[in-house]
Chains A and B, each alone.
Chain A
Amino acid sequence: MRYFLVLIPLALLPLLLNDFWVSQVLTRALILGVIALSLSFLATYLGVVSFAQVTLAGVAGYAVAYFGPNTVGLGFPLPLYVSLPIALLLSMAAGALIGLVARRSRGIYAIMITLAIGVAFFYFTRQNYALFNGFTGFSGVIAPKMGEGNWGDPMPLYFLALGVSVICVVLVNGFVRSPLGLAVQAVRDAPGRLLALGIPTTYPIVAAFAFSGLIAGSGGILNVWFQERVSSFSVGIGPIIDVLIISVIGGLRHPTGAFVGAIVYVMLDIFAIDLIDRDRFNLLIGIVLLAIVMAAPNGLHQLAIDWVGKLRGRAEQPRTN
């Protein structure tokens, strides 16, 4: 019921706003939110902060570009009902592979390894021309047709992104309640005990990473349709840090906080120009990140919950007297 209260305004918003707000603010925030959700999911339930989620999104994005229409004359066009599953399967497989590589690493080791994987992928896409078209990547990757227009138009893409976001949140909630999801959380809490019970830890870790690949991949496909291109810059250190910042702002222990973080980030990105020099955006976002880490380590989501709790506490105090 609570979710519907959030969804109804989100579904009505496009009626009130112009195309700029719908596509540059809302759609962008939703897409970034989905990718950041895959990071927050791993951080919350597996206890691993992965820097490779943009890489997973990029794998799906590149797959859609390679197996779909593009203007660089590279690839192997396939119908949508084949290319989309391929893209998602590839991002899941890439996720599983990363999980396999990082399965014995926790905490900061996992951060370093996933970061190194992400950057290695970035350099690889720059140097490989057969699959990734090197530096320039793919352009003209348009979303599929829909009646008169196409799914990439502001309104359809917004509702598509909204739909995918809802599905992803539902999937995450379902996954963590499933037996496999419980095993993943057990790995987070007490890997030693799990091993002692005779349950291998590799399988849940790999499964969690593959699942995060599915979520990140969905976001990656949307992102390619939104940007209409994908290149090495889409998987570079910039986007990697952006997605991390979004997850941290929203709160690494609150998966849905990713969407809160995304909207804050997008607003900062757009309106920083009014606050300070456009060139100093990184300075602003760095200071915001530092402030969040120092003052609200559990993110804005937790901060809001704490405030609401305090206000309620104050309001209830007279009654208890």
Chain B
Amino acid sequence: MTLFFVVTLNGLTLAALYFLAASGFSLIFGLMRTVNMAHGALLLFGGYVGWSVVDATGLWALGVMAGGLAAALAGALVQIGVLGRMQGDELRQTLASIAISIILADLMLWIWGGTTYQVRTPSWLTGGTRIEVLGIGYATVRLYLMVFALSVGVGLWLFIQKTRIGAVIRAGVDDQDMLRALGYPINRIFVLVFAMGGMLAGMAGVIAGSALSIAPGTDLQFLLSSLVVVIVGGMGSVGGAALGALLIGLAEQYGLAYAPTYAAVVTFVIMVFVLAVRPQGLLGRAEA
């Protein structure tokens, strides 16, 4: 039974990270129909910047913020400099973002090398916590990660549902042309959403570096998991990203624990099954 609880907690940890990565990805796609293939690179970039800041200052919270801001800035630059110039041409945007991710990955390999980094965590995050109800101990940082993902999810939902900018973004998802006609600066909103997506990715990178570790390849791992999560959960919805992340994170860990040979296939089977039954994803809306 202990194994089951630990595996479940591992699955939830992974789900929390997947959600942080996929929510930004899904948000960008929902508004702009842009598949940002550089999302994983932004995540890794945030993680590296966060590591460097923590290494230099010793302040973990500052590292998380710096990582988020750096990735937000990089995301905004990508949208202004490249993707915004080909708005509406989805295939070109996808290809351009692949090119950007290749360039970014190589630049990061140049700067930070091929070593694996782990972000130093403050004392209140280090060590383990005993969970009496389940009778097991678990890494504190991972428990906080779940809390953090949960609060980001709620915060994002509140932002999109309850604030004025959120309403504008939702209107943009529904009818971009109408929003433009009403005189909203849609290009600036695009950049803002891109920066937000980048910020979520960057913070996820630092946190992934604290709870697990980051290395070249982490970018691809999270890009692919984001893809699968949003395919399963449904594009452009925060709830869909959460549901997809939960399903994929748990399935991956249960698969690894109970059927190691077929762990990769479990995820894939879920994806194919969802596509067969609901091509738009579990919580996605059908394409008009």
Contact = CB atoms under 8 A, between A and B. Distances in A.
Contacts of A112: 35, 227, 230-231
B90 interface: yes
Interface string A263-297: 00000000000000001101101110110011001
Interface in A74-125: 101-102, 104-105, 107-109, 111-113, 115-117, 119-120, 123-124
A71 interface: no
Interface residues of B, number: 41
A284 to B, nearest CB: 9
A241 B85 CA distance: 23
A293 B110 contact: no
Interface stretch (B55-63, B116-124, B165-173, B260-268): B260-268
A237 B95 CA distance: 15
B279 A104 contact: yes
Contact of B102 (A101, A115, A241): A241
A248 interface: yes
Contacts of B231: 109, 112-113, 116
Contacts of A285: 102
Contacts of A123: 263-264
B99 A290 contact: yes
A282 B263 contact: no
Given A123-B264, A294-B85, A282 B106 contact: yes
B257 interface: no
Contact of A293 (B35, B95, B227): B95
Interface in B227-244: 227-228, 230-231
Contact of A283 (B107, B261, B268): B107
A49 interface: yes
Given A116-B271, A289-B98, A108 B35 contact: yes
Contacts of A290: 82, 96, 99-100, 103
B105 interface: yes
Contacts of A150: none
B220 A237 contact: yes
A293 B96 contact: yes
Contacts of A129: 261
Contacts of A102: 275
Interface in B215-234: 220, 224, 227-228, 230-231
Contacts of B109: 279, 282
A287 B230 CA distance: 28
A104 B92 contact: no
Interface string B128-146: 0000000000000000000
Contacts, number: 105
B176 interface: no
B94 interface: yes
A244 interface: yes
A206 to B, nearest CB: 14
B249 to A, nearest CB: 16
A116 B110 CA distance: 28
Given A116-B228, A127-B263, A283-B107, A293 B268 contact: no
B109 to A, nearest CB: 8
B264 A282 contact: no
A261 to B, nearest CB: 13
A117 B264 CA distance: 10
Contacts of A124: 264-265, 268
A280 B96 contact: no
Most chain A Cβ neighbours within 10 Å, of B91, B107, B231: B91
A114 to B, nearest CB: 11
Given A283-B107, A286-B103, A49 B91 contact: yes
B158 interface: no
A241 B261 contact: no
B106 A127 contact: no
B111 to A, nearest CB: 12
24 contacts: A101-B276, A102-B275, A104-B275, A108-B33, A108-B35, A116-B227, A116-B228, A117-B268, A120-B264, A123-B264, A127-B260, A241-B98, A241-B102, A244-B95, A282-B103, A282-B105, A286-B99, A289-B95, A289-B98, A293-B96, A293-B99, A294-B85, A294-B86, A294-B96
Given A127-B262, A244-B98, A282-B106, 12 more contacts: A101-B275, A101-B276, A105-B279, A113-B271, A115-B224, A116-B228, A126-B264, A241-B102, A252-B91, A282-B103, A282-B105, A293-B95
